[in-house]
Amino acid sequence: MKSVPKLIKRFVGILMLSSLLILVINFAVLAIITATQAPNGSPWTTAEQAAESMGKSEQGYKMSDEMIEELNAQNVWAVYIDNETGECVWHSDNLPDTVPLEYTASDIANTTRGYIDGYPTFTGEGEDGLIILGYPRDSYWKHMWPSWDYQFIANLPKTILIVLALNVLIIFLIYMAANTKLLKSVKPITDGIQALHTGQPVVLKEKGVLSEIAANINQTSEVLQSQNYQLKKKETARANWIAGVSHDIRTPLSMVMGYASQLESNKQLPEEERQKAAVIVKQSQRMKNLINDLNLASKLEYNMQPTHIEQVNVISAVRQVVVDFINLDISGKYPIEWLTDSDLNTVIINADKDLIKRAVSNLIQNSINHNENGCTIYVAVKEEHDKACDIVVSDNGVGATDEQIDKLNNSPHYMVCDENTSEQRHGLGLLIVKQIAAAHKGTVEIKHSEYGGLEVEICLPL
């Protein structure tokens, strides 16, 4: 089950990216807020500027007009306390009545740290006094006891990282708890989908957040099971019909061949009649071969042909087929050349010896059937790097066009009709060769021969 871990990784990845994005956004918002609040240190700056703007003349203390306008614009009042007497020697015109005009050292300390009658106050040091600015109520919040434990400040970065890690862990646990039920329901769904292509029946529980998907998979499985059942019934019926027809035809065909052979050998009959009997024998033999090929092709197609797998010396089996054909070619019209490397004496594979010989026999016979004027047939067995065994049958006959070779390699059917309607061929020979190769987990390739004709190569695994 590779899909469920991938899905979990996807969920976890989305979770981690979401958490990271949230942290980044939080830090960005914090930075923006901090940047916008940074000018809030201006009350202290303003107090220092106000202290510097204070001047003393014969009439007393006076603040610059620009500074007074700035304070009035912010609705800020101000008093100037003499360092020696602690008395107010100057104040702004908007000074509230509740603000005292005399201050002790403790009053000044409290004023610097906190408030006067609810007004947040800020101080600035003048040349010979202290100026106090009072801002409107609820305009600033002052931390009156700004003292921190030293170890707390020193360990603050570590503390922040721990808090962030705990936050991420908590988010992850909440996420997993919320999606555990979903993840549990995903695994049966993925198992069911993977089981569909195997043809196994799939029955999933139709409940949970993915109940609709489970129901659709169950319906799909039912449809596939029904289709497979109907297909198997058709295949079985077809195979049984072919086997039955083949069996029923053999007996009367044998009788026809027997009587025709007797007529052919009867010297009392005219020569013309004996030739007709010979044609009957020949065509009956073709029919017999066709029936045998059709029956074998059907069995191989539906895996009804039992295979007797054993260790087979391919060179010995192929050479035996070649010798049989050489002995049958009395006229020498179809000579066969053995092109196997003389140093290669043994190539062992696990195969059905009879089927391998049948495949090679079909290829040689195919060259004979398609070259009525005769041709040379070349047979070779090759070993490819201790991984595969190649059986190559080629000829220097009429060959085939590129289009015909493409059809032979890729056409799903096996019926072959050429222009010579009197000599139409059923094409089962190559089909059986392909089926035999497939039964041994091998392949077949049809191509142009280097000798000018056709070449067929069977590749079988060692």
Each residue's pLDDT, cut to its tens digit, for the chain (462 residues) gives 455 566 667 777 777 777 778 778 877 877 776 666 554 567 888 999 999 999 888 888 899 989 999 999 999 999 999 988 889 999 999 999 999 999 988 888 888 888 999 999 999 998 889 999 999 998 888 877 767 778 877 888 888 888 888 877 887 787 777 677 666 777 788 888 888 877 778 888 887 667 788 888 888 888 888 888 787 777 676 666 666 666 667 778 788 888 788 888 888 888 888 888 888 887 887 777 677 776 666 666 666 555 678 899 999 999 999 998 888 877 888 999 999 888 888 889 888 888 888 889 889 988 988 888 899 999 999 988 778 899 999 999 998 888 888 888 886 544 444 444 344 344 577 888 888 888 888 999 999 999 989 999 999 988
- What pLDDT score was predicted for residue 408? 84
- What pLDDT score was predicted for residue 94? 92
Question: Collapsing DSSP states into helix, strand and coil, what is residue 460?
Answer: strand
Sheet with strand 443-448: strands edge to edge: 336-338, 377-384, 388-395, 454-461, 443-448
CATH of domain 308-461: 3.30.565.10
Cα distances (angstroms) measured from residue 15 to each of 9, 10, 319, 419, 454: 10, 8, 69, 70, 63
Structure tokens at 363: 């290829």
Residues in CB range of 96: below 8 A, 6 or more apart: 77, 117, 119, 134
**CA-wise closest residue to 432 among 455, 452, 451, 456:** 456
* Enclosing H/E stretch for 66: helix 65-73
Beta partners for 63? Answer: 54
Residues in CB range of 377: below 8 A, 6 or more apart: 325, 334, 335, 336, 337, 364, 367, 368, 393, 394, 395
- What pLDDT score was predicted for residue 298? 66
Give the integer Cα–Cα distance in Å for 452 and 396: 5
The reply to whether the predicted model has a pTM over 0.85 is no
Structure tokens at 140: 């600033």
Position 346: which residue type?
A: T
Residues in CB range of 442: below 8 A, 6 or more apart: 458, 459, 460, 461
Per the CB < 8 A criterion, the answer to whether 379 and 357 are in contact is no
Structure tokens at 418: 């050429």
Residues in CB range of 415: below 8 A, 6 or more apart: 426, 427
Phi, psi of 107, deg, nearest 5? -60, -45
Give the integer Cα–Cα distance in Å for 141 and 121: 10
The total number of residues shown for the chain amounts to 462
- Residue with the two structure tokens 């303003």: 46
Q: Sort residue 374 into left (φ over 0), alpha (ψ -120 to 50) or beta.
A: left
| DSSP summary character for residue 39 | G
> Domain map of the chain by residue range?
1-147, 211-299, 308-461
Structure tokens at 71: 């304070």
